[in-house]
Chains A and B, each alone.
Chain A
Amino acid sequence: MKSAVIVFPGSNCDRDAHDAIARVTGEAPAMVWHQETELPEGTEFLMVPGGFSYGDYLRCGAMASRSNIMPAIIAHAESGAPVLGVCNGFQILTESGLLPGSLMRNAGLSFVCEKAPLSVANGNTRFTSRYDSEAELIIPIAHHDGNYFADDETLNRVEGDGQVVFRYGNNPNGSARDIAGIVNAKGNVLGMMPHPERAVDAKHGGTDGLALFESLLGSA
């Protein structure tokens, strides 16, 4: 599967994303600089990694969502190809309108890093097909602005449509309805605050993130 990882100034999980994808797919993803205007020919899976794009200045993800590469990311998503945004990548996807809602400052006002218990809320997406339905996972989180918010109507809709993919077991940031990850209506764009790319090796971080990348491999 041909993959690509977007690199913004301030991205800091780009190497982790690269390594996790390479490990699972057996093929190293292309690293795409934010100034580019096209994705490499034949890109199937696209990942927007975590970090502090543009220093998180202004508002997390706001500047990245207006960068040169963004139209290509949007076009890729609209074509129905899989797009995964993790942490800052999730923020960028909400800022760009690819996903509903937004991510506010954590309810506790502090940065939170922990191995977070999650449950799979929808095991039938192309990102989660290899997980058992309602599986309990441990995936690391590390963010200051992961408090998922949307109005009630939107929350009711995404819940009703099965767009909620992951929920926190022990809500660490005040997210509405314990939402840790959501997909768009088409189901091909996933945004999540937890870092599956940090959970692909038993020697550090555990292996609960592996199935996410494996699900994609099966779906693409």
Chain B
Amino acid sequence: MTQYADGITAEIVAEHGINDEEYAIILDRLGRAPNMVELGIFSVMWSEHCSYKSSRAHLGKFPTSGEKVIQGPGENAGVIDIGDGQAAIFKMESHNHPSYIEPYQGAATGVGGILRDVFTMGARPVALMNALRFGAPDHEKTTHLVGGVVAGIGGYGNCVGVPTVGGETNFHEGYNGNILVNAMAVGLADADKIFYARGAEPGQPIVYVGSKTGRDGIHGATMASAEFDDESEEKRPTVQVGDPFTEKKLIEACLELMATDAIAAIQDMGAAGLTSSSVEMADKGGIGIKLDMDSVPQREDNMTTYEMMLSESQERMLVIMKPGREDVAKAIFEKWELDVAVIGETTDTGRMVLEHKGEIVCDIPIAPLADDAPKYERPYYAPEVRAQIDAKDVAQPSHMGEVLLKLMASPNMASKAWIWRQYDRHVMADTAASSEDPSDAAIVRVHGTNKALAITTDCTPRYCFADPFEGGKQAVAEAWRNLTATGADPIAITDCLNFGNPEREEIMGQFVGCVEGMAMACKALDFPVVSGNVSLYNETNGVAIPPTPAVGGVGLIPDMDQRQGFGCMSEGDIVLVVGETKGAMGASLYLREIEGREDGGAPAVDLGIEKMHGDFVRDQIRAGRLTACHDLSDGGLACAAADMALASQCGIKLAHEPENPVPMHGFLFAEDQARYLVAAKREDALAILQDAKAEDVPVHVVGLAGGTAVSVNGAHHLELDRLREAWEGWLPGLMSSEAMAAE
């Protein structure tokens, strides 16, 4: 017989997203029925967003350790060794659901949350990235969402003073009802001064710092764990409101406190706020906690324990201090005009006990909330394998220059300057390459050294949709390739796995396929996963987003003077392709934009070849032989050549040999993997070809730099001026239609 505490009904339990089976477990673990506070706490901790209940069974497939990994998944962010006693700390996280409902605040608080994950660990944040996916450009909501999300990301990052250095923005009708806003933060710290959520012991004071707790964001984590329907707009009150000014003060105050050796454990209050931060630290320390809810700084009158525990008010941290050091925190936080209060202490009971107005309002064991949370092996099936499409089976267009123009002005390829002009990319004065620069990854100098971090975000959802396993491999391989093309040694990745409803076998199949593909690539490329986030239920009225496992890659450029871009090609340079072009057209940008079809298999990724070609390119960069280097991805060789020509303000005369078995449009637009386009002076090109021969790497001369156009075999001209106008014009054109509509 099911039991309910006073005032609780089956409907209330269901509204908390807890099913019958899960409720039975709560009854079993408590030995009684939960009250409203306890039900709320179980509800958020067991939400998909906090518990990873559908995904945990598969995340273990990722390689998470390595020579350079200091901390893998399980903490607030991953930590890697970048030499000289320094560490880079990074993570990517989604803020999809709130950004769709309220784009400015949803995106802004996404930035705030990911920054806290990084500085919680003792790092000074040094770079922000974002991976954005919007619906079809002509969808009624798209321009409004683009404008709001971009303003929100800028509004927060610019004020906090961390440069937003790069990212990617794609458009596809599959995101009409669920946009993706994935934000990544990277920080730097001394490798021996990292702070963890673990480390608390019984008898230590629990100190609350930052903003006051209000009624905003209650049940945000639960919202982010459900599909949208027609009433989703009504969920606006669950979206939190960001205050970057407070965050900036919180960063400085926390870093100041961290320099004092007074902290036992520290955790930011993100999703499920006070609940998850206290449970995480108690669970990781194997201890209990007792909180006095009357001491929690409150923004509004008469807040209940339920509201305080579930609030997602922003810019708050929970610190477990070494006993007797509370005054240290007090002095620092008062200097920064932030709230600070001792709200409880750690215990040895293994239980979470909450007292409010003289009454115990919650008394539950910690274990079932965290490690013992439900974990599902959801059934799934792998999608049918789609046949690859060869260029020979695709009609040849008549004028390649016109096709190239259309591709470069298409939503995914067009310049995103309208977006990145709104982000401060230079604050902190260490940005060596950002979105505006011709570089496959953002480059941020490690302050005060001659080293630099290379940072990229990548994913090709149309490949993941066509073939989750190959698409998962490709997302990792492309990140690795982009870092390599700047001359960096790729080190590790973070990820943000965005999928639909995992209770549907088809979606779960996409998830498992992508994870397994990514895991294989991470192993083969020695590119482990050190942190990440899963966002499921990106679905509206039963329509899921394309599978989108966004990868955030970080690498190290040991010597800044050897960094590589693709904007310094000049007249007379030889243009070469590293890697084989076989004519893979399945799921390509060409098919989508030119033929209006999205069929065919994803291009296969041979990881051994990927590694060999990348290592070859990196060696050539470090030998100082390249004037330009660009990875080949969307739109193939021709689009990479167009990027290089635009950035270098120098045309390229491409040559397609008549004896080439791949037809001209395959040569230009196929998306075969493991390829790079490079330019070099004539004598360097000869040396490259010699090395290639010796190392058995396929390298072919494909063109000559010069003139004012991209052309093929002396025909198919596309003048750079015309190309630039179309490439730069698309997004401003789209967004000015938004402005006109608003007037």
- Which residue in chain A gives the minimum CB-CB distance to B739? A109
Question: How distant is the Cα of A113 from the Cα of B437 in the complex, in angstroms?
Answer: 13
- From 65 to 115 in chain A, residues with beta carbon under 8 angstroms from any chain B beta carbon are 110-115
Residues in A whose Cβ lies below 8 Å from that of B428: 15-16
Across the interface, do B560 and A203 meet the contact criterion of CB distance under 8 Å? yes
A208 within 8 A of B: no
Across the interface, do A16 and B429 meet the contact criterion of CB distance under 8 Å? yes
- Kindly identify which residue among B161, B245, B337, B426 contacts A195, using a CB–CB cutoff of 8 Å: B426
Counting chain A CB atoms within 10 Å of each CB, the highest count among B154, B245, B249, B429 belongs to: B429
- Which residue in chain A gives the minimum CB-CB distance to B162? A12
Binds B, one of A38-46, A47-55, A150-158, A212-220: A47-55
Residues in A whose Cβ lies below 8 Å from that of B245: 9-10, 52, 54-57
- Kindly identify which residue among B243, B336, B422, B436 contacts A9, using a CB–CB cutoff of 8 Å: B336
- Kindly identify which residue among A113, A115, A204 contacts B429, using a CB–CB cutoff of 8 Å: A204
Residues in A whose Cβ lies below 8 Å from that of B423: 111, 113
Across the interface, do A198 and B249 meet the contact criterion of CB distance under 8 Å? no
Question: How distant is the Cα of A9 from the Cα of B425 in the complex, in angstroms?
Answer: 21
A140 within 8 A of B: yes
Residues in B whose Cβ lies below 8 Å from that of A140: 426
- Which residue in chain A gives the minimum CB-CB distance to B432? A204
- Which residue in chain A gives the minimum CB-CB distance to B425? A113
- Which residue in chain A gives the minimum CB-CB distance to B561? A203
- Which residue in chain B gives the minimum CB-CB distance to A110? B422
Question: How distant is the Cα of A197 from the Cα of B154 in the complex, in angstroms?
Answer: 21
Given known A-B contacts A13-B161, A142-B158, A197 and B429 have beta carbons under 8 A apart: yes
Minimum CB–CB distance from A199 to chain B (whole Å) comes to 9
Across the interface, do A10 and B427 meet the contact criterion of CB distance under 8 Å? no
B160 within 8 A of A: yes
Residues in A whose Cβ lies below 8 Å from that of B159: 10, 12, 52, 55-56
A162 within 8 A of B: no
A136 within 8 A of B: no
**Contact residues of A: prevailing secondary structure:** mixed
A4 within 8 A of B: no
B355 within 8 A of A: no
Residues in B whose Cβ lies below 8 Å from that of A179: none
Question: How distant is the Cα of A106 from the Cα of B249 in the complex, in angstroms?
Answer: 26
- Which residue in chain A gives the minimum CB-CB distance to B150? A110
B431 within 8 A of A: yes
Across the interface, do A9 and B337 meet the contact criterion of CB distance under 8 Å? yes
Given known A-B contacts A12-B161, A54-B245, A198 and B429 have beta carbons under 8 A apart: yes
Question: How distant is the Cα of A110 from the Cα of B736 in the complex, in angstroms?
Answer: 13
Across the interface, do B422 and A12 meet the contact criterion of CB distance under 8 Å? no
Across the interface, do A203 and B427 meet the contact criterion of CB distance under 8 Å? no
- Which residue in chain B gives the minimum CB-CB distance to A33? B335
B424 within 8 A of A: yes
Minimum CB–CB distance from A148 to chain B (whole Å) comes to 19
Across the interface, do A10 and B249 meet the contact criterion of CB distance under 8 Å? yes
- Which residue in chain B gives the minimum CB-CB distance to A11? B161
Residues in B whose Cβ lies below 8 Å from that of A114: 421, 436
- From 152 to 171 in chain B, residues with beta carbon under 8 angstroms from any chain A beta carbon are 154-155, 158-161
- Kindly identify which residue among A52, A56, A113, A200 contacts B421, using a CB–CB cutoff of 8 Å: A113
B598 within 8 A of A: no
A20 within 8 A of B: yes
Number of B residues contacting the other chain (C-beta, 8 Å)?
A: 32
Residues in B whose Cβ lies below 8 Å from that of A16: 427-429
A187 within 8 A of B: no
Minimum CB–CB distance from A200 to chain B (whole Å) comes to 8
Question: How distant is the Cα of A54 from the Cα of B245 in the complex, in angstroms?
Answer: 7
Number of A residues contacting the other chain (C-beta, 8 Å)?
A: 32
Question: How distant is the Cα of A205 from the Cα of B426 in the complex, in angstroms?
Answer: 8
B445 within 8 A of A: yes
Given known A-B contacts A111-B422, A203-B432, A13 and B427 have beta carbons under 8 A apart: yes
Residues in B whose Cβ lies below 8 Å from that of A205: 426, 429, 431
Given known A-B contacts A9-B336, A55-B159, A203 and B445 have beta carbons under 8 A apart: yes
Across the interface, do B431 and A111 meet the contact criterion of CB distance under 8 Å? no
- Which residue in chain B gives the minimum CB-CB distance to A114? B421
Minimum CB–CB distance from B632 to chain A (whole Å) comes to 27
Minimum CB–CB distance from A99 to chain B (whole Å) comes to 23
B438 within 8 A of A: no
B430 within 8 A of A: yes
B244 within 8 A of A: yes
B248 within 8 A of A: yes
- From 404 to 432 in chain B, residues with beta carbon under 8 angstroms from any chain A beta carbon are 420-432
A19 within 8 A of B: yes
Across the interface, do B426 and A142 meet the contact criterion of CB distance under 8 Å? yes
Across the interface, do A19 and B249 meet the contact criterion of CB distance under 8 Å? no
- Which residue in chain A gives the minimum CB-CB distance to B422? A111
Residues in B whose Cβ lies below 8 Å from that of A56: 159, 245
Across the interface, do B426 and A55 meet the contact criterion of CB distance under 8 Å? no
Question: How distant is the Cα of A110 from the Cα of B151 in the complex, in angstroms?
Answer: 8
Across the interface, do B424 and A142 meet the contact criterion of CB distance under 8 Å? yes
- Kindly identify which residue among B155, B243, B336, B424 contacts A113, using a CB–CB cutoff of 8 Å: B424
- From 1 to 43 in chain A, residues with beta carbon under 8 angstroms from any chain B beta carbon are 9-10, 12-13, 15-16, 19-20
Given known A-B contacts A10-B249, A12-B248, A114-B421, A51 and B430 have beta carbons under 8 A apart: no
Residues in B whose Cβ lies below 8 Å from that of A203: 432, 445, 560-561
Residues in B whose Cβ lies below 8 Å from that of A144: 158
Residues in A whose Cβ lies below 8 Å from that of B154: 111
Residues in B whose Cβ lies below 8 Å from that of A19: 429
Across the interface, do B429 and A111 meet the contact criterion of CB distance under 8 Å? no
- Which residue in chain B gives the minimum CB-CB distance to A15? B428
Across the interface, do A198 and B336 meet the contact criterion of CB distance under 8 Å? no
- Which residue in chain B gives the minimum CB-CB distance to A204? B432
Across the interface, do A113 and B426 meet the contact criterion of CB distance under 8 Å? yes
Residues in A whose Cβ lies below 8 Å from that of B160: 12
Counting chain B CB atoms within 10 Å of each CB, the highest count among A15, A114, A197, A203 belongs to: A203
Given known A-B contacts A10-B249, A110-B422, A20 and B336 have beta carbons under 8 A apart: no
- Which residue in chain B gives the minimum CB-CB distance to A52? B159
- From 429 to 445 in chain B, residues with beta carbon under 8 angstroms from any chain A beta carbon are 429-432, 436, 445
Residues in B whose Cβ lies below 8 Å from that of A197: 429
A and B contact pairs by CB, cutoff 8 A, 12 listed: A12-B248, A16-B429, A19-B429, A20-B429, A55-B244, A110-B422, A111-B158, A115-B436, A140-B426, A142-B424, A142-B425, A200-B429
| Nearest 9 interchain pairs by C-beta | A12-B161, A55-B245, A142-B424, A16-B429, A52-B159, A204-B432, A140-B426, A111-B422, A198-B429
Chain A: residues with CB nearer than 8 A to chain B? 9-10, 12-13, 15-16, 19-20, 50-52, 54-57, 110-115, 140, 142, 144, 195, 197-198, 200-201, 203-205
Known: A13-B427, A144-B158. 11 other contacts (CB 8 A): A10-B159, A55-B246, A56-B159, A57-B245, A110-B151, A114-B421, A195-B426, A197-B429, A203-B432, A204-B432, A205-B426
Chain B: residues with CB nearer than 8 A to chain A? 151, 154-155, 158-161, 243-246, 248-249, 336-337, 420-432, 436, 445, 560-561
